[in-house]
């Protein structure tokens, strides 16, 4: 299936891009993150991240569907 | 009316305050978060804020709506800057009007506290010595790296 991944802040810098579209068979965001860590030098481990699918917070174990847009959310620091 | 906004230009507090005016309101409380020149022992020269705009606005709206559901206020609004900011610029503004001041103070505090913890906005600090770093991301990045090294070596033990 085809997935779109957007990167922000530290992860955007480590990936060297703001977003990418990729083919993946990852069953969940957790599996997808493991795949992405092979391609990019991400230092944050999953326990420090939240995940959003199609613009809403999601569970790490939720199933992914073709066309989903996934964002891994580093620790926030607004205000 | 939207109750959480992102802006890449200076926050117009006078205009924002006017949005909270209500004939039944007897009090108004606002909070301004400013860019500070020091953080965790390091001299900061400027900041950059980055947001996942779609989710930031949705989550910010939820925060204000949740607080408004718990505390009887008349209006509330939060505006957060994104992009490059200099020292002493306003990074975030929260305003609340209510029938009585107590509710306005409480709601304003709860909104800013929740925004800092929940809204997907990130802050990169630039330091006097030329270094820079993403707040809350650099420290926790170190630990898992060590953990991975241990994990990779584990089969040899």
The 3-class secondary structure across B108-150, one letter per residue, is: HHHHHHHHHHHCCEEEEEEECCCCEEECCCHHHHHHHHHHHHH
Residue A5, Ramachandran bin (φ over 0: left; ψ between -120 and 50: alpha; else beta): beta
B145 touches chain A (CB under 8 A): yes
Say whether A78 and B121 touch across the interface (CB within 8 A): yes
* pLDDT at position A17: 98
* pLDDT at position B140: 73
Q: Does the domain spanning A2-73 belong to CATH 3.10.20.30?
A: yes
Q: A23 to chain B, minimum CA–CA distance in Å?
A: 23
Cβ-count burial of A28 within 10 angstroms (0-12 exposed, 13-18 middle, 19+ buried)?
Answer: middle
Q: B95 to chain A, minimum CA–CA distance in Å?
A: 14
The pLDDT tens digits of the residues spanning A39-79 come to 999 999 999 999 999 999 999 999 999 999 999 999 999 99
Q: Helices then strands (H, E): number in chain A?
A: 2, 5
* pLDDT at position B151: 37
Distances (CA, A) of A52 to A58, B14, B88: 5, 35, 33
Question: For chain A, what are the domain ranges?
Answer: 2-73
- Which residue of chain A has the CA closest to B144? A45
Q: A66 to chain B, minimum CA–CA distance in Å?
A: 20
ipTM of the complex: 0.95
* pLDDT at position B2: 83
* pLDDT at position A52: 98
The segments of chain B whose pLDDT lies below 50 read: 143-157
B91 vs A6, A47, A79: nearest CB? A79
Residues in A closer than 8 angstroms to B116, CB to CB, are: 76-79
State the CB neighbour count (10 A cutoff) for residue B44: 19
A8 vs B33, B122, B144: nearest CB? B122
- Which residue of chain A has the CA closest to B51? A8
Residues in B closer than 8 angstroms to A44, CB to CB, are: 137, 140-141, 144
* pLDDT at position A3: 98
Domains and CATH numbers, chain B: 4-156 (3.90.1170.40)
Q: What is the count of residue pairs from A and B with beta carbons less than 8 Å apart?
A: 93
* pLDDT at position B1: 65
């Amino acid at each position: 299936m085809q997935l779109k991944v957007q990167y922000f802040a530290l992860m955007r810098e480590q990936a060297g891009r703001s977003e990418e579209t990729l083919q993946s068979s990852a069953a969940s965001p957790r599996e997808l993150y493991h795949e992405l860590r092979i391609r990019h030098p991400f230092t944050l481990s999953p326990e420090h991240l939240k995940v959003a699918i199609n613009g809403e917070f999601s569970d790490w174990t939720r199933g992914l569907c073709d066309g989903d847009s996934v964002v891994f959310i580093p620790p926030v620091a607004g205000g | 009316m939207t109750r959480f906004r992102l802006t890449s230009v200076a926050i117009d507090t006078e205009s924002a305050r006017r949005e909270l005016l209500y004939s039944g309101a007897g009090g108004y409380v606002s909070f301004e978060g400013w860019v500070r020149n020091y953080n965790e022992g390091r001299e900061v020269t400027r900041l950059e804020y980055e947001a996942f705009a779609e989710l930031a606005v949705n989550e910010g709206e939820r925060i204000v709506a949740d607080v408004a559901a718990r505390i009887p206020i008349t209006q509330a609004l939060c505006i957060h800057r994104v992009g490059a900011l200099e020292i002493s610029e306003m990074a975030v503004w929260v305003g609340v009007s209510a029938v009585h001041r107590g509710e306005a103070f409480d709601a304003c505090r709860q909104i800013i506290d929740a925004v800092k913890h929940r809204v997907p906005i990130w802050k990169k600090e630039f330091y006097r010595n030329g270094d820079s770093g993403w707040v809350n991301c650099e420290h926790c990045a170190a630990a898992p790296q060590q953990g991975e090294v241990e994990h990779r070596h584990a089969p040899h033990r």
